[in-house]
Each structure stands twice: as structure tokens, then as C-alpha cells.
Amino acid sequence: MVTFGTDLDRLLRDLETEGESNDAEQTDRSKKFLNLERPTAELMYVLLQASRRKRVLEIGTSNGYSTIWLCAALRDCSDAALISIDASAEKLALARKNLARAGFDRRVELKQGHATEVVAGLNGPFDCIFFDADRVSAPEQVRLLLPMLNEDVLLLADNALSHPDEIAGYRATVEQLPGFVWTVTPVGKGLHIAWRRQGAPG
């Protein structure tokens, strides 16, 4: 278990409770937060910390729960940068509020718009991408991002087990990329992890 020994722990627990309550009440899927399960968030935190990621892109901000975990993983790195994208202006407003509560509002750049369009306008470089939005459009986003990826890069995608049909295109795209190794870990709804190390053949 990952704990921070600070008010951040309390905030994360509050957001977990708020997320569960909101999603149970909402019938409109677009209004649901659909936050990561905590074990998945903890695994991502450990992966980013252990591999010393510095430039991260998150596709799918929602209310900022996962964004806070990413910020926490980067906070020991003075030159770290995080960009997070979401189509919903309403959710981004809530994310800004929650990031401010966590003290991370100045550590992340939030961008509103459809992910593929926003990604096309980015410059990179990125050493970690977290896909947690529209799984069907993710393969196109991968293709757009390839020139922006560091040689040593980590690609993460949620819902690998809960939505196998929707994520199939993403998996097919990533798993055939030269130099990458990949796995699916049965944590939460299934986290797809792909890594290309520096100097990998391909």
C-alpha cells in the first residue's frame, strides 16, 4: 500500500468516496468520474517513481483523481512536467479544484478538447503516456504520439480486462511496435503496460 503520511492521504480517500457515490447516482455515463481503482493508481505511482519518469501525458483527466497520483509520483523531480487532457470542461474545472486541494495545481497543465485533436498539437517529448479515455480512438493517438516519445518510454492503459473489445485496437497497435515489451496485470480493471528501454533493438 502507498501512503504519504499527510493530508494527501485523506484527500485521496475523500475523492474515492466521492467518485463511488457520484458514479452510483449518475445514469449519464458522461457525468460519471470512472476513477481508477486505488490498487491501479498505486501500481502506476510505483512504476513512475521506480523508473524516474519526468515528462508525462495523461489522456482522460476526469475529476483529477488519477492526475493527483501522477503528480505525487513526479513531485520529487524539479524539472518534471505533466499534461492532462479531457473533453469535459466541467470535469476539468473540478479537477483544477481537486489539484489545488492537493497542492499540485501548478504542477500540471490541463487541456480541454477531444484527445486526438489536442494530441496532434502537442510537441513532447514524453517518457510516459497514460491512456484512460476513449479506447477506440487511442490507436490514432498512439500513431500521432510516436514521434514525440522518448527512446525510453512507458505506455500505460486502463481497462485492459474490463473492456477487451474496445481496447483491442490499442493493444494491436502497441504490441506490434518495435522494441517494446508489454504485459497486462490483473489489477483493478486491468492495466496494460508497455515499455521501450533505451537502446532496445527494433
Report residue 197's pLDDT band, with 50, 70 and 90 as the boundaries: confident
Q: Which domain holds residue 102?
A: 36-196
Residues 6+ apart with CB under 8 A from 76: 49
Give start and end residues of each alpha helix (H) in the chain.
7-25, 38-50, 65-74, 89-102, 115-120, 138-145, 164-175
Where residue 128 sits, what CATH number does that domain have?
3.40.50.150
- Asked, for residue 25, whether it belongs to a domain, the answer is no
Mean pLDDT, range 63-89, rounded to an integer = 96
Mean of pLDDT over the chain:
96
In a domain, 182, yes or no: yes
Number of domains in the chain: 1
- Domain membership flag for residue 119: yes
pLDDT digits (tens, 9 = 90+) for 169-183: 999 999 999 999 999
Residue 122 is given by DSSP the state -
Alpha helices in 57-123 (DSSP H): 65-74, 89-102, 115-120
**What phi-psi label fits residue 151: left (phi over 0), alpha (psi between -120 and 50 degrees) or beta?**
alpha
- Is 13 inside any structural domain? no
Q: Is residue 22 part of a domain?
A: no
pTM for this predicted structure: 0.96
